[in-house]
Chain A
Amino acid sequence: DADVTQTPRNRITKTGKRIMLECSQTKGHDRMYWYRQDPGLGLRLIYYSFDVKDINKGEISDGYSVSRQAQAKFSLSLESAIPNQTALYFCATSDLPTGEGTGELFFGEGSRLTVL
């Protein structure tokens, strides 16, 4: 089983619908992230959380909200989806870059969202 699991993997929805993307992890990491990938733009940070009580906006948080239900769970919501939110969404986790650790991100497999 994957260490970072995203559901759903694929979703097609209509403009105005509420969508939730879920992420769960078994890595035991405190830090979790949601990124969005668009062609030619790389990955852009939407929200991140350094522990259950800590939620921070990334560079493109407008139109999104998140919930950190537990250390292992971090959900991304689109309250009213619009077509330009069509993208590949990644959840990721990381540990602190201490000792031999690099602080690298461990990614889920991605959730492809299409908003019609």
Chain B
Amino acid sequence: AQKITQTQPGMFVQEKEAVTLDCTYDTSDPSYGLFWYKQPSSGEMIFLIYQGSYDQQNATEGRYSLNFQKARKSANLVISASQLGDSAMYFCAMREGEDSSYKLIFGSGTRLLVRP
């Protein structure tokens, strides 16, 4: 079974509009963390935002926010005021397990294209 599911292989958004990238996860561990990474066409992996399972508030980092719905097991990334430079692949990832054994598991990614 997929641990991390990103159901949108590709998405378009108009410049300056907001966009939501979906991510659902599956874990029975009460302690876990959720991450979003951005991969521009140059290939590097850029960390965007993190949400811990015990965090009460949704994480925000500048124009990025994470819509964390624990009961639904979803951790959607919201990008506000899209910019052309936001065009990239976006990966959702989950860390689960005790501190001594955890590792990150990634979704298949969503390719976002921002239209001018």
Contacts and interface: CB of A to CB of B under 8 A. Distances in A.
Contacts of B33: 97, 102-103
A109 B99 contact: no
Interface stretch (A18-26, A38-46, A73-81): A38-46
B106 A107 contact: no
A33 B44 CA distance: 15
B83 to A, nearest CB: 22
B107 A42 contact: yes
Interface residues of A, number: 27
Contacts, number: 60
Interface residues of B, number: 25
B9 A40 contact: yes
A94 B37 CA distance: 14
A109 B46 CA distance: 10
A76 B108 CA distance: 23
B52 to A, nearest CB: 7
A81 B50 CA distance: 36
A41 B108 contact: yes
Given A97-B33, A102-B33, A110-B44, A45 B105 contact: yes
Contacts of A90: 45
Interface string A89-102: 01010101110001
A112 B55 CA distance: 37
Interface of B: 4, 6, 9, 33, 35, 37, 43-45, 47, 50, 52, 91, 93, 95, 99-100, 102-109
Interface of A: 33, 35, 40-45, 48, 50, 58, 88, 90, 92, 94, 96-98, 102-107, 109-110, 112
Given A90-B45, A97-B95, A102-B33, A42 B103 contact: no
25 contacts: A33-B103, A33-B104, A40-B9, A40-B109, A42-B6, A43-B93, A43-B106, A45-B104, A45-B105, A48-B103, A90-B45, A97-B33, A97-B99, A97-B102, A102-B33, A102-B35, A102-B52, A103-B33, A103-B102, A104-B50, A105-B47, A105-B93, A105-B104, A109-B44, A112-B43
